[in-house]
Each structure stands twice: as structure tokens, then as C-alpha cells.
Amino acid sequence: RCQSTSTDEKRNKSRNVLDNASNLLTNFLSGGSIGSMPVAEGAVSDLFGKPLFFSLYDWFIEHGSVYKLAFGPKAFVVISDPIVARYILRENAFSYDKGVLADILEPIMGKGLIPADLDTWKQRRRVIAPGFHTLYLEAMVKMFANCSERSISKLENLLEAKNLQGGHEIELDLEAEFSNLALDIIGLGVFNYDFGSVTKESPVIKAVYGTLFEAEHRSTFYIPYWKFPLARWLVPRQRKFANDLKIINDCLDNLIKNAKETRQETDVEKLQQRDYSNLKDASLLRFLVDMRGVDVDDRQLRDDLMTMLIAGHETTAAVLTWAVFLLAQHPDKMKKAQAEIDAVVSQDGITLESLKKLEYVRLIISESLRLYPQPPLLIRRSLKSDRLPGGYKGNKEGYEIPAGTDLFISVYNLHRSPYFWDNPNEFEPERFLVQKDNNDIEGWAGFDPSRTAGSLYPNETVSDFAFLPFGGGPRRCVGDQFALMESTIALAMLLQKFDVELKGSPDSVELVTGATIHTKSGLFCKLKKRSHTH
């Protein structure tokens, strides 16, 4: 007992030292050129032991929707306001780049769309975005269903084996299953490569996970030691990282070589009208290589593919993970979804037509993205001095910021803002059906479900930037429809066959963040076969 008291004292003492150091630093930095902005007096200890975005939320409620956060030798402006977010992401988008994020991702993604400088981005976005055209997405629906079927069969086999031993449910980590599924899907959709990770392990699969792990480490480690010239050879994890990258790059280089050897150059319009039902290779790589008049070097193509592999894998797995986490705590909503699935999905499985009718399941995906946005923060750096508009809560006149200011747009705060959502922390997929007017919020158009403009899912246009699961403006996600359809299909196929419960209490599921919000040690669930299914 004595010992534990003295340990506590020591811990408190060191916490105080850290707090004082942090407060000194904060005060010192608060006199800077963005001086009129409220400053979060956060302690350094706030940054450890829990994800940063939790603290950013508390400070948002305390300081308003635009404030300055100082930690270490750096200061960040934290934005939790749709009008300011709209300004940075859409209205004045080209005055900002990806700042810290590009520094972290460049060694992995090179000049891929996410970290790319503006010139490269302009060229590649023009070529890549048309690749996600209607017929491609329709062809993907079939692939999503086939891959999901592979996952479901695996679970059914596990359950059957359990039945033989007299059991009637299985326990397993669904996050890991979703991660494998999303990897298989992104491999097939983007470069027609079957990782087959639902059923096996391979060096390439291990390398992909190793790379993701390193990307996450880098995004939470504040000193970029990997930039030191010898780090790659001296630090074991950096040696492993270099090796993992080489394995993936070799694999991608090979796929690019094959695609180029079988190139059939065609106009974009013709490529977009191909008969996808007869295509052996419907992948985006095929599209990019076959496009007439675009002679792109192999290195750039590889960067593009790597970017989409990383951007489209963990994000989608995370949406499915949190959708199940939320549904398992709301069995009534799970039943409602299952009733819709039973009514809409025929024996032949999910088609584009049934997807259009799965309204409730789609809203579950959107609501999961609202509560657990991936990534929870969008990162920007101002390229020139600018004047941000005033926030909804706090200063109305706005703030001058100098060139080089680092900004976090907290999508997490926006999505849980008590000023824009009723019961912001509750899981209520139905909320997206209700119009919310903007009587008292100057500059915000309100939430209007009728503004979906052909999209099956709510988006930043409908909500005027209060809901931005895929960002907004020119750097908006290119894979949004791919990801939404993929996750709706995978979730519907899981719920069609199984009832899902959490193995432990919801509180025992700890969150961690890198680029996405995921669990610390898996989402362990109990799966039972549903008694009334097709």
C-alpha cells in the first residue's frame, strides 16, 4: 500500500512538471502572430494515454470552434466549425497544402494524390477521378459481394465446426476479419490482384500490414527520427519498414509491367463505356494504363496505386468495425436492419438494385462515419497568409493567420458538435432523414436531405460541411462511392446471416488512432447464426 502511494506521488509530481512545462510553452507561444485566438491551455500529459481527438473535443467546448493549441515546439489551429472548414477545404482550397501529413506520408506514397504537391495533384486527379465512373462502380458491386461471400463462408465454416462440438456460437475479432476483407477488395478493385488475405497469409500481406503499422507510428510520434540519414540502416523498425516497402513496390511494379505490356490505348469516353460484364480485368490500373494520351511513368503509377491501397484499406475496415460496435449496443436497430435486408435482398445475393433499396443499412454506415470519422482530423498548412472566417462559437470577425500555419480540421468535433446535431453522441441512423433548419446559425445552410443530388448517401453538400466523412472541395476523397457501396454490402451480408454481440462490455473496447480510429486490441464479438434467413 505504502509503495503504491509513493508511486502515485511520483506520478503526480512528474505530471505537474509536465503540466508546468507545457503551460509555460503555451503562454510563450500564445503571444505569436495568431495572438487574438483563444489558446487551449492543455497539458502535455493530455496528449498521452488517450487519443488526441478526445482532448481536442473538450477544448472545443471550452474555447470555441477556432482555437490555438500549442504543444512541443509547435502550435496548431484547431477548427470545429462548418463555415471555417468549408472555407479552407473548398472556397480557398489552393491556399493550403497537406503540411505535416505530407511529411509523414511522402516516404510511403511518394507523389500519390494524398501527399502530392499541387502541380502533380492537378495532373493525376484529372486522370484518376474519371476512373471511378458509373460502369466501373457497378462492376465493383459484384466483386464486393463475391469477396464478402468469401468472408461469410469462412465464418459459417467456423460456426459449423463449433456446432459439431456442441457449440452454437463463435467468438472472434471482427476488426481483423474486416481488415482482411477490405484488403482483398482494394487489391482487386485497384490493381486486379487477389491478396486472398481472408483465407491465407503471404509476405505481401504481411508487408502491407507492416507499412500501415509504420505509417501509424509516424503519425503519432512527434520527432521524425526516420528522416536522419542513417536511420534506415540503424533502427531495426526502419530497416523492416524499408524491406516491407520493397516487397509491396516489387509487387506493384510487376503488376504495372504486365498492364503496360497488354496496353490497349483508348479514349477516356470509350474506356468508360466498356462492357464490364465481359472484362477480365476491370481494375483502375487497367483504366489508367489504357487511357489514350497519358504516358505516365511507372514511378508515378506506383505511387498512385500505393496511395489508394493505403487510403482505401484501413478506412473501410474501420467503418465496418464501428458499425458493428454500435449495432451490437442497439439490438433493436440491428433487427431493423435485418428486416430491411430480408425484405430487399433475394436468394441471388446483393445487386446494385438491392443496394439502392437498403436505405437503413446505408444510413447505418453514414452514422458510423459520423461518430467515428476516418481520419478524425484533416490536416492542412497555409501556403500564404490568410484571413479565416469567424467561427460559429467564439469570435465572429475571423482571424489572420500567417503563411506556414498548421491547421487541424477536427471532423470528429464537427460530427459531434452540440451546435449542429441533436443528441450528438447517440447512434441514430434515422437522423439523416430529418431536415434541420438554420434559423440561428449565420452562414450555415442547414441540413437538407433533399440535397443529395443523386447520391445515395448523405454528404457535405447536404449538410453544408457539418457532415464531411470524405472531406470536401477539390481534395475530397476519390473513392467515396467505392467505399460506401463496399461497406454497405459487406455489412448487409454479415447481418443477413448472423446476429452479432460484443464479447465484453463496450467500455472494454479501447480506442487508438493513427490515420484512423481503431481498437487497441480487436473487436471481439460473438456470432450466432440467424434462425430466420433466406
Shorter beta-carbon distance to ligand HEM: residue 159 or 183: 183
Shorter beta-carbon distance to ligand HEM: residue 64 or 479: 479
The residue written with cell numbers 480557398 in the block is 92
> What DSSP string describes 83-135?
HHHHIIIIITGGGEE-HHHHHHHHHHHTTSTTT--HHHHHHHHHHHGGGG-HH
CB of 249 to ligand HEM, least distance (A): 18
CB of 151 to ligand HEM, least distance (A): 17
CB of 238 to ligand HEM, least distance (A): 26
Residue 125 touching ligand HEM (CB under 6 A): yes
Residue 471 touching ligand HEM (CB under 6 A): yes
CA 64-396-378 angle, to 5 degrees, is 50
Binding pattern for the stretch 311-340 against ligand HEM, x by CB under 6 A and - elsewhere = xx--xx--x---------------------
Residue 475 touching ligand HEM (CB under 6 A): yes
- List the interface residues with ligand HEM, window 484-513 (CB under 6 A): none
Q: Which of 65, 307, 366, 382 binds ligand HEM (CB under 6 A)?
A: 307
Q: Which of 374, 413, 463, 513 binds ligand HEM (CB under 6 A)?
A: 374
Backbone angles phi, psi at 407, to 5 degrees: -125, 145
Shorter beta-carbon distance to ligand HEM: residue 300 or 316: 316
Binding pattern for the stretch 73-112 against ligand HEM, x by CB under 6 A and - elsewhere = ----------------------------------------
Residue 305 touching ligand HEM (CB under 6 A): no
Shorter beta-carbon distance to ligand HEM: residue 113 or 344: 113
Binding pattern for the stretch 149-188 against ligand HEM, x by CB under 6 A and - elsewhere = ----------------------------------------
Select the span of 217-225, 242-250, 303-311, 518-526 touching ligand HEM (CB under 6 A).
303-311
- Over the range 22-52, which residues count as b (16 or more CB within 10 Å of their CB) and which as e? beebbeebbeeebeebbbbbbbbbbbeeebb
**Beta strands across the sheet bearing 39-40:** 39-40, 66-71, 74-79, 406-410, 377-382, 96-97
CB of 313 to ligand HEM, least distance (A): 8
- Say how far apart CA 382 and CA 380 lie, in whole Å: 7
Binding pattern for the stretch 212-251 against ligand HEM, x by CB under 6 A and - elsewhere = ----------------------------------------
CB of 470 to ligand HEM, least distance (A): 5
For residue 478, the SS3 value is coil
Q: Which of 191, 241, 482, 498 binds ligand HEM (CB under 6 A)?
A: 482
- Say how far apart CA 338 and CA 531 lie, in whole Å: 12
- Say how far apart CA 48 and CA 235 lie, in whole Å: 24
- Say how far apart CA 517 and CA 509 lie, in whole Å: 12
Q: Which of 125, 457, 137, 95 minimizes the C-alpha distance to 307?
A: 125
Shorter beta-carbon distance to ligand HEM: residue 75 or 483: 483
User: Which amino acid is present at 317?
Assistant: A
Residue 61 DSSP label? H
Q: Which three cell numbers stand for residue 455?
A: 447520391
Residue 310 touching ligand HEM (CB under 6 A): no
Residue 376 touching ligand HEM (CB under 6 A): no
CA 394-396-399 angle, to 5 degrees, is 90
Q: Which of 478, 492, 500, 517 binds ligand HEM (CB under 6 A)?
A: 478
Backbone angles phi, psi at 483, to 5 degrees: -70, -40
CB of 436 to ligand HEM, least distance (A): 22
Contacts 24+ apart (CB under 8 A), 423-432: 425/371, 427/326, 427/329, 427/330, 427/333, 427/367, 427/371, 428/367, 429/333, 429/360, 429/363, 429/364, 429/366, 429/367, 430/363, 431/367, 432/363, 432/366, 432/367, 432/458
Residue 287 touching ligand HEM (CB under 6 A): no
For residue 419, the SS3 value is coil
Shorter beta-carbon distance to ligand HEM: residue 107 or 479: 479
CB of 112 to ligand HEM, least distance (A): 7
Question: Residue numbers of the site for ligand HEM (CB under 6 A)?
Answer: 113-114, 125, 190, 307-308, 311-312, 315-316, 319, 374, 378, 469-471, 475, 477-479, 482-483
